[in-house]
Amino acid sequence: MDPADLRRIAETHVPEGLAIDEARVLELREGQLFPFRAATSGTPDPLSTPVGCNGVIVNKITGNALRLGSAFPIARDAAMYDRGYRFDRYDLVVTEVRHPAHTVETLRKIAMTVVEPTYEQGTVWRIPRPMTNEELRARLARVPCVFGNVRLYAACEALEAAREAGAFVFELLEYRAPR
């Protein structure tokens, strides 16, 4: 996709009251990052980032857009995008467990959850709860092991540390909701 196409896609993801900060657009290996700034008249403050969204990254090949949060610096988000963290939700597929305790510890940091539907007063409740260490170990006993519909925005560093330590081998696939 050419830069004009990427910009058009990014513009469809700009929240009300914000604008693309042209001076800080970043070229990534597989995407282009369009930081946001407050949409004010006059010269924008290049150090100000709106609360809630640092911007959007648009993939150069697919045109898929990833809206960024504001919990982390833009440089971190750009680096994680280039390492493969390109989606809002994932299917995390564990294909090999080399160090079980470290693997369970990492998955607890990611806050893997399980939903057990319950019924009360005419309503079925589906409230996620954190998986226990025992549940994680049981799931990991058979690989490949899929943890679906997982948000990893705040957990990229934990996964990368586990990868570098050789704790387990995993793949990250884009989660696609069933139709």
Q: Would you state the pLDDT for residue 39? A: 78
CB 37 within 8 A of CB 44: yes
Q: What is the mean pLDDT of each run of 10 residues along the chain (179 residues)?
A: 93 90 94 89 53 87 93 93 94 98 96 93 95 97 96 94 97 92
List of residues 6+ apart from 32 with CB closer than 8 A: 3, 6, 10, 25, 26, 57, 58, 60
Any idea of the CA torsion for 175, 86, 67, 164, to the nearest 10 degrees? 110
> For the whole model, what pTM was predicted?
0.82
Q: Would you state the pLDDT for residue 43? A: 53
What are the angstrom distances between the C-alpha of 95 and each of 69, 88, 176?
29, 21, 20
Q: Would you state the pLDDT for residue 134? A: 97
Q: Which two tokens stand for residue 167?
A: 């704790």
Q: Would you state the pLDDT for residue 92? A: 97
